[in-house]
């Protein structure tokens, strides 16, 4: 472990030297062999002006490949139609991947402008292929003869998924309907770009500047970060707080200035809801109007029904059944938490009303009172370097893989890269980390590919290039980056997505992705190890004293594991319900998104005013520009799976059980979408997923016992959905 830390420090120094601050504009790197180590993108040579020509050439090549399929007069076969289609569009897909990832992690005015130009072009190109009648005829010809073909299970699944993807995209519509759907898709693509850019602008435009006499309650490291941020803004005598979670949450947790907590939290809640140039309410209307019309064209009563039909859940009733089962006990638990905090609140504000901006502050006070535990006594043990080392340790214990720093082109000087070696020392892939917030980066944390795992024409595995992007607490002049418990857990989460990408060993590109409500299983599973005593003792080391976290702190952490679960579960399920409700509309009429949300959550379901949903519509990036529309429930559905998988490790008596880990890798992680999610799950676990471990983990065990599993839920298997970036 010490050697890994030393190498990391050395590598960080090297990357600052080798990464150029300016990229020369020369020959388009997308038009020739990259010649880079491990096949990573040539970030040091890619400039914004390279993307449009590369995307245009990619679309042209894709058109030619499709034309070759449709002009072939031979009998339609799996090889000359389905496999040829699966192999088409590789250049376009590669350029698009890099473009999309950079727009999220390292955006610029040039890229923002290009997004607006490119989005409708890409949408139109995709529709041209999906609406190609000759192409669909040949796909259908193979599909109709599928039972007579000698196909193995993966070939059959690829055939069925390919056919279904055309049907879901509108291949069975008439010409007039196709033209309308094409226009809808182009409008939606542009709306998504505008929505995301508005949120980024709102995040960047707000800052709360305070003087030294307004910092009561704030710990030293929080003050240091705020002072350094203010200095960057040219306000050396001030302290700056932003809407980045790494700044916002510590302020809400520790600031004794209630009016300032209210000020910054209201700014956070009202992003893109201020009736100005960045307001997203009209765009939300556009999304729902267009998505509802699209669903109707494709034969579905609502957009939610259209989305969920391609997921494990299969029906919106199944989704609501799960969410409703959790909502009532979670809200009741949250009310109990509020009652305890109000006793503390009354001592400070005898005549006031407890508000949402008070929750973090008094929850931390209550935790300290009940468990003699506060986050500041834990943070010195959770330096970013140590948490990352702990994750590497865990991956090695479970799967035998190792990580070594490498010098490769970087898209930003703060990014770092590792070569990942399998247990047999073979190359598994490249993993980038990008940890800290900056103006060009979207909020949140996510994991995605720059290069997807595939097989080349000679049958050689093309290793993936994966990136984990976060917005963690920055280091200061006095201390390294010290993570909150939530940030540490987030790194475990995103690393789970990375393992899923790295372990992929799928023959066909069309079988790479899994269902949306399955995709969070690998990530959420990793969270289960984050604060296990055995794992903590491996990585939770005080950054100054090198003392391993003492047992008494581990005991306090374990005793407090259910603390505030009512709040956290309620805000999560509230967002999931608001997402399902707005996308379950069967008819569109102009509406006020905020009024709709209040009716859905407060009036209909009794959400208490002291808790806000995790996301309000105007900045709900997951469901409007992040690929989780009618899918925010994915996290909860997958939680049933992840807690039941972790139960297998617990039952074995060994949290590092290599046989179970190997089975999970071979039967789940490596297989991508080569079978539907429930088939993969049953193949690994040998039974239906059980809901009880998930409910127990949230302190929501109720009597009578809940239904044991998801098996009774209508339709628990489905074809995979397309998707790419796993976002938190």
For residue 628, the number of C-alpha atoms closer than 13 Å in the C-beta half-sphere is 27
Residue with the bigger pLDDT between 22 and 680: it is 680
Widest pairwise Cα distance in the chain: 83
What value, to the nearest 5°, has the Cα angle with vertex 423 and ends 419 and 425? 55
The confidence score (pLDDT) of residue 706 equals 47
Reported as a pLDDT band with limits 50, 70 and 90, residue 402 is very high
Least confident of 14-23, 71-80, 166-175, 506-515: 14-23
Binning the chain into helix, strand and coil, the percentages to the nearest 5 are 60, 5, 35
Inform me whether the pLDDT recorded for 14 exceeds 80. no
| CB-based contact 484:236 (threshold 8 Å) | no
Nearest CA to 256 out of 335, 344, 334, 367 is that of 344
Interatomic CA distance for residues 686 and 679, integer angstroms: 10
Confidence at residue 20, expressed as pLDDT on a 0 to 100 scale: 36
Contact 340, 356 (CB under 8 A): no
Return the pLDDT at 375: 87
DSSP state, residue 324: H
Give tens-digit pLDDT for 271-289.
999 999 999 999 999 999 9
* Alpha carbon 47 to chain centroid, angstroms: 26
Of the listed ranges 88-97, 160-169, 315-324, 697-706, the one predicted with least confidence: 697-706
Confidence of residue 369 (pLDDT cuts 50, 70, 90): very high
Q: In sequence order, what are the beta bridge partners of 468?
A: 433, 447
State the average pLDDT for the chain: 92
708 has pLDDT over 90: no
Mean pLDDT of 180-194: 97
Pull the structure tokens for residue 179. 């033209």
Q: What is the pLDDT of residues 117-154, one digit of tens each?
A: 999 999 999 999 999 999 999 999 999 999 999 999 99
pLDDT tier at 722 (50, 70, 90 boundaries)? very low
Q: What is the mean pLDDT of residues 630-645?
A: 97
Q: Is the per-residue pLDDT at 18 higher than 60?
A: no
Percent of the chain past pLDDT 70, that is, above it, reads 93
Q: Is the CB of residue 138 less than 8 Å from the CB of residue 69?
A: yes
In eight-state DSSP terms, residue 27 is S
d(CA 478, CA 198): 35
Higher confidence at residue 715 or residue 728?
728
- Omega cis (within 30) before 704: yes
**Residue 520 catalytic?**
no
Q: Is the confidence at residue 694, as pLDDT, over 80?
A: yes
How many CB atoms sit inside 10 A of residue 133's CB? Answer: 11
Is the CB of residue 640 less than 8 Å from the CB of residue 317? no
Q: How confident is the model at residue 22 (pLDDT cuts 50, 70, 90)?
A: very low
| β-bridge pairing 208-210 and 239-241 | antiparallel
13 pLDDT higher than 80 = no
Q: How many CB atoms within 10 Å of residue 715?
A: 15
Instruction: Give the CA angle between residues 126, 131, 132 to the nearest 5°.
Output: 100
pLDDT of residue 188: 97
> Mean of the pLDDT values across residues 311-338?
97
Q: Which of 311, 494, 597, 647 is catalytic?
A: 494
Return the structure tokens found at 373.
């535990």
Per-residue b/e over 140-162, b at no fewer than 16 CB within 10 Å? bebbeeeeeeebeebbebbbebb
Confidence tier at 576 by pLDDT (50, 70, 90): very high
Q: What percent of the chain has pLDDT over 90?
A: 91
Least confident of 409-418, 602-611, 711-720: 711-720
What are the sequence ranges of the domains in the chain? 206-269, 281-378+563-727
How would residue 8 be classed by pLDDT, with cut points 50, 70 and 90? very low
Q: What pLDDT sits at residue 376?
A: 87
Q: What is the mean pLDDT of residues 58-80?
A: 98
Query: Strand, coil or helix: what is 638?
Result: helix
Pick the CATH number of 281-378+563-727 from 1.10.1370.10, 3.60.21.10, 3.40.50.261, 1.10.3720.10: 1.10.1370.10
pLDDT band of residue 727 (cuts 50, 70, 90) is very low
CA separation for the pair 238, 214 (Å, rounded): 10
Residue 702 confidence (pLDDT) above 80: no
pLDDT, mean of residues 399-407: 98
Q: Please check the confidence at residue 393 and state whether its pLDDT lies above 70.
A: yes
- pLDDT band of residue 710 (cuts 50, 70, 90) is low
pLDDT at 268 over 70: yes
Whether pLDDT at 709 is above 90: no
Over residues 289-299, the pLDDT tens digits come to 999 999 999 99
Residue 723 has pLDDT above 60, yes or no: no
Question: Quick count: other Cβ atoms within 10 Å of Cβ 323?
Answer: 22
- In this prediction, residues 392-403 reach a mean pLDDT of 98
């Amino acid at each position: 472990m010490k050697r890994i830390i030393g190498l990391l420090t050395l590598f960080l120094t090297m990357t600052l030297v080798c990464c150029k601050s300016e990229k020369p504009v020369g020959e388009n790197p997308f038009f020739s062999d990259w010649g880079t180590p491990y096949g990573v993108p040539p970030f040091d040579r890619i400039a914004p002006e390279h993307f449009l020509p590369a995307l245009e050439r990619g679309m042209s090549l894709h058109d030619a490949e499709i034309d070759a399929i449709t002009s072939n007069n031979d009998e339609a076969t799996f090889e000359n139609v389905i496999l040829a289609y699966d192999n088409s569009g590789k250049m376009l897909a590669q350029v698009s991947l890099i473009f999309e990832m950079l727009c999220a992690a390292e955006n610029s005015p040039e890229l923002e402008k290009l997004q607006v130009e490119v989005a409708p072009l890409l949408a139109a190109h995709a529709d041209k292929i999906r609406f190609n009648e000759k192409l669909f005829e040949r796909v259908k010809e193979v599909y109709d003869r599928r039972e007579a073909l000698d196909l193995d299970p993966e070939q059959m699944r690829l055939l069925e998924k390919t056919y279904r993807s055309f049907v879901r995209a509108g291949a069975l519509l008439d010409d007039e309907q196709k033209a309308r759907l094409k226009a809808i898709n182009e409008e939606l693509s542009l709306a998504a770009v505008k929505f995301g850019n508005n949120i980024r602008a709102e995040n960047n435009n707000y800052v709360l500047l305070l003087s030294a006499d307004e910092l009561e309650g704030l710990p030293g490291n929080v003050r240091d970060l705020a002072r350094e941020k203010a200095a960057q803004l040219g306000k050396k005598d001030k302290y700056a707080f932003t809407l980045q979670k790494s700044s916002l949450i510590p302020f809400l947790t520790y600031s004794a200035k209630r009016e300032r907590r209210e000020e910054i939290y209201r700014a956070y809640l009202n992003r893109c809801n201020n009736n100005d140039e960045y307001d997203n309410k009209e765009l939300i209307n556009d999304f729902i109007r267009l998505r509802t019309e699209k669903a109707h064209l494709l034969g579905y009563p609502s957009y939610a029904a259209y989305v969920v039909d391609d997921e494990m859940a299969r029906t919106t009733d199944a989704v609501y059944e799960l969410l409703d089962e959790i909502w009532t006990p979670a809200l009741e638990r949250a009310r109990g938490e509020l009652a305890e905090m109000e006793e503390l609140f009354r001592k400070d504000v005898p005549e006031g009303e407890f508000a949402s901006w008070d929750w973090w502050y008094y929850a931390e006070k209550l935790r300290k009172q009940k468990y003699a535990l506060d986050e500041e006594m834990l943070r010195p043990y959770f330096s970013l370097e140590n948490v990352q080392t702990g994750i590497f340790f865990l991956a090695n214990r479970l799967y035998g893989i190792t990580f070594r720093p490498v010098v490769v082109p970087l898209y930003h000087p703060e990014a770092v890269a590792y070569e990942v070696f399998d247990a047999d020392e073979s190359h598994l892939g490249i993993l980038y980390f990008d940890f800290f917030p900056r103006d060009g980066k979207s909020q949140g944390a996510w994991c995605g590919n720059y290069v997807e795992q595939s097989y080349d024409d000679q049958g050689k595995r093309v290793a993936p290039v994966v990136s984990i992007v976060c917005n963690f607490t920055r280091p200061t002049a006095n201390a390294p980056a010290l993570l909150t418990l939530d940030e540490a857990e987030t790194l475990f989460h995103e690393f789970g997505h990375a393992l899923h990408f790295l372990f992929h060993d799928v023959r066909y590109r069309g079988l790479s992705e899994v269902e949306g409500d399955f995709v969070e299983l690998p990530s959420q599973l990793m969270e289960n190890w984050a604060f296990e005593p055995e794992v903590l003792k491996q990585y939770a080391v005080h950054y100054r004293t090198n003392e391993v976290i003492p047992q008494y702190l581990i005991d306090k952490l374990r005793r407090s594991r259910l603390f505030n679960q009512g709040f956290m579960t309620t805000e999560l399920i509230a967002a999931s319900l608001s997402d399902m409700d707005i996308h379950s509309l069967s008819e569109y009429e102009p509406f006020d998104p905020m009024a709709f949300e209040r009716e859905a959550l407060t009036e209909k379901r009794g959400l208490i005013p002291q808790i806000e949903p995790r996301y309000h519509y105007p900045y709900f990036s997951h469901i409007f520009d992040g690929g989780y529309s009618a899918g925010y429930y994915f996290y909860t559905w997958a939680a049933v799976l992840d807690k039941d998988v972790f139960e297998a490790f617990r039952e074995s008596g060994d949290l590092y059980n290599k046989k179970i880990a190997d089975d999970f890798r071979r039967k789940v992680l490596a297989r991508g979408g080569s079978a539907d999610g429930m088939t993969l799950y049953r193949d690994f676990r040998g039974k239906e997923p059980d809901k009880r471990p998930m409910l127990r983990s949230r302190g929501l065990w109720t009597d009578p016992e809940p239904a044991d599993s998801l098996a009774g839920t209508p339709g628990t298997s489905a074809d995979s959905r397309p998707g790419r970036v796993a976002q938190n």
